[in-house]
Chain A
Amino acid sequence: MQSVSPKIINVLKKMAMNQAVYVDSCIYRFNQTEIDAQRDAVLSFEPLESKGSEQTSKDSDVGLSTSEYVRRTKAKIAILSRNCYREQLQWYPITKKSDVVKLAKLQVKNTQSQVLFIVGKTVNGKTPVTYYYLNELTNGLKTWLFIPETSLLGRELSSDCLISYQTVDPCNTVFVSNSVAGTVSALQGGMIQNLEQFALSQGVHVQHKVHLSVEEHLLSLKTQLKHLYQLPLTGLINTAVLSLDAKSAPLSRLALPALVVTTLYLVLAVQVSEFKADSAKQELRAATKEANHVLNQYQDINEMIGRYRQLAENTPQRTQLLGVWKVLAPMYGSGVLFSDVQQELQTVTLRLTADSASLALQLLIKQPGVTNAKFVGSVRRQRNKDAATVQFELLPSKIKPVIKGATDGDNLLDSAQDKLALEAQ
């Protein structure tokens, strides 16, 4: 888990670095291996694209496929080599920065080549503007921002320090200093052959001279890129790509069809959804009619169940007319004589005479439907017979209040059994 976060950070760093390219006669990207990344170092530039006739050979040299080539030129920031532009410093007697910006924009509006500008700090009621006139090396670049490399290198430069370095291709020496007007630079040539001459031309007192090696040059660029947000970017935007006109041209072509298509889609979607909703409603209405019928049936059934239960509570139990005699018949057959029979609902009390009252009770208990059979009072023995009073309960045969299953007939004693009871006498 610990090794994951550095990897993610490296990937993010690499993605950020891929957003910047260095433009000279070729287009380069910052080549940084994983080991370099750990040391926070940039070792070299890797050429991506060459201009003009060299393009094909360079591409083939680095072995880029077409898709890779397109992807790599999707960088959003182009650091322009000093070979890509010429500088011009101009002072305006205006202190309001927004007015200076407007003026600078007006100034660069009608120029033939693309011009970048950086507005400096106001000094003595005057504001300096450094214009960068781009040459043909930047033609066709689709990046959003053009950053002149000298503006980056000179950003942190102290006023008494001069630096010199060599551009990548073609190999020219560049001098950079930081004056009151901002960063100024010049290519070696003509009147300016060394740093002293450059310092004289800019009116700068030289105390420190620094010559940047190729690696230092790259590292410095990379370091300053991190502080890119501190630069006044207003004049560094690639207007050819990001201007409203440039954007609106293809957009305006697509706008009307897109509007029409979207509107048509929405109208169609509304119609379809409306139709589907209507058809579903109609279907539901038809189904509801039928469902109401079923619900009425359900209600009827419930009402009938209620009525059935009410009837069941009051239904006459004709089976009990002979119920007690069905119990007594087998006992009578076994020699038991009855002198008194009392039946109050399910409770039956008998006074009987038998050879053995206990046997008679046993016989009674064996009869189906007899429960809680017991002697009431004492058993008297006279004339070799037992006289006893027995009480028991007959299980009721109720109509079951359920829809399925039992009917009245199920609970009724069948007449055949009743007949048997009578025949037993």
Chain B
Amino acid sequence: MQELMKYKRYLILVGVLVLIKFVWVPLWETKQENWQQQQKTRSNLNKTKALLALKDEMHERQQIMSYRLQEAESHFAQTDNVTSYKLTAQSKLESLFKRHDIELSNSSWRDGLKNDDIQTLLLDIRFEGQVKQYLHLLQELQQNDEFTNVSPESNQMSIRKQTAQKLGSVNGRVSLKLAVKLVSQGAS
């Protein structure tokens, strides 16, 4: 025991060094690590909060965009079968021409571009009739919601007997582009 007391100072010093090495240093490092982690977390939190500040605006824009997209999609006819759509569309257009006393001499289909689920179809129509009737037909084509997906691709007209008082008669060919959205069988 007396031997130990002789080295008391050194033992205390060793004890303090052990305390520093195995208790203080790890505690200090843990503390520093925690502070760094906290600072990093706070920085991320600030960024996240800045993002959250846009929440309402983002929601509003999503609503607007959703509405506009819906509106844009409404201009496309939807079908799961292009052939049956062609028959239906042709039948409607023929009855429209007939309604306006425009005589059809020929009509034929061409396939346009396909972009994902959007398919464009081209319908070439040869017709003959009064210019005035043809303009009425075009007006109805523009205003009738059944033909929202129809737009002109090309139009050739030979006008005869036009005077200042009369629009005359027309003999021409029009290519109409029909935009169709293809839907799968399951989705339809």
Q: What's the Cα separation between A425 and B69 when bound, in Å? A: 38
Q: What's the Cα separation between A295 and B136 when bound, in Å? A: 50
Question: A268-305 toward B: CB 8 Å interface, digit per residue (1/0)?
Answer: 01100110110011011001101101110110110011
- For B134, the closest partner residue in chain A by CB is A325
Q: What's the Cα separation between A68 and B58 when bound, in Å? A: 72
Q: Is the interface of A mostly helix, strand, loop or mixed?
A: helix
A residues contacting the other copy or chain, number (CB 8 A): 69
**CB <8 Å contact, A314 and B120:** yes
Residue numbers in B under 8 Å from A266 (CB-CB): 23-24, 27-28, 31
**CB <8 Å contact, A325 and B178:** no
**CB <8 Å contact, A318 and B9:** no
Question: B95-134 toward A: CB 8 Å interface, digit per residue (1/0)?
Answer: 0000000000000000001011010100000000000100
CB-CB under 8 A for A267 and B65, given A277-B41, A315-B179, A322-B142: no
Residue numbers in A under 8 Å from B9 (CB-CB): 244, 248
Residue numbers in B under 8 Å from A325 (CB-CB): 135, 138
**CB <8 Å contact, B52 and A287:** yes
Q: What's the Cα separation between A399 and B157 when bound, in Å? A: 28
CB-CB under 8 A for A408 and B24, given A335-B164, A337-B163: no
Q: Does A321 contact B (CB under 8 A)?
A: yes
- For B77, the closest partner residue in chain A by CB is A316
- For B56, the closest partner residue in chain A by CB is A294
Q: What's the Cα separation between A259 and B17 when bound, in Å? A: 11
Binds B, one of A70-78, A109-117, A342-350: A342-350
Once A and B bind, how many residue pairs between them come within 8 Å at the CB atom?
190
Which of B31, B151, B159 contacts A316, CB < 8 Å? B151
- For B24, the closest partner residue in chain A by CB is A266
A383 to B: closest C-beta gap in Å: 14
Residue numbers in B under 8 Å from A407 (CB-CB): 68, 71
Which of A287, A321, A403 contacts B64, CB < 8 Å? A403
Q: What's the Cα separation between A419 and B24 when bound, in Å? A: 90
**CB <8 Å contact, B157 and A422:** no
B38 to A: closest C-beta gap in Å: 4
Q: Which of B23, B51, B65 gathers the greatest number of chain A CB atoms within 10 Å?
A: B65
**CB <8 Å contact, A320 and B158:** no
Which of A301, A308, A312, A422 contacts B58, CB < 8 Å? A301
Q: Does B154 contact A (CB under 8 A)?
A: yes
A395 to B: closest C-beta gap in Å: 15
Residue ranges of B at the interface with A (Cβ–Cβ < 8 Å): 9, 12, 16, 19, 23-24, 27-28, 30-31, 34-35, 37-38, 41-42, 44-45, 48-49, 51-52, 54-55, 58-59, 61-62, 64-66, 68-69, 71-73, 75-76, 113, 115-116, 118, 120, 132, 135-136, 138-139, 141-143, 147-160, 162-164, 167, 172, 177-179
Give 18 new A-B contacts, CB below 8 A, not counting A270-B34, A341-B155: A270-B27, A273-B30, A277-B41, A290-B55, A294-B54, A294-B55, A301-B58, A301-B61, A305-B65, A314-B120, A316-B179, A321-B152, A325-B138, A338-B159, A341-B159, A418-B142, A419-B139, A425-B132
A-B pairs, 7 with minimum CB distance = A273-B34, A316-B151, A266-B27, A280-B41, A277-B38, A343-B155, A287-B48
Residue ranges of A at the interface with B (Cβ–Cβ < 8 Å): 244, 248, 255, 259, 262-263, 266-267, 269-270, 273-274, 276-277, 280-281, 283-284, 287-288, 290-291, 293-295, 297-298, 300-301, 304-305, 307-308, 310-322, 324-325, 332, 335, 337-345, 399, 403-404, 407-408, 415, 418-419, 422, 425
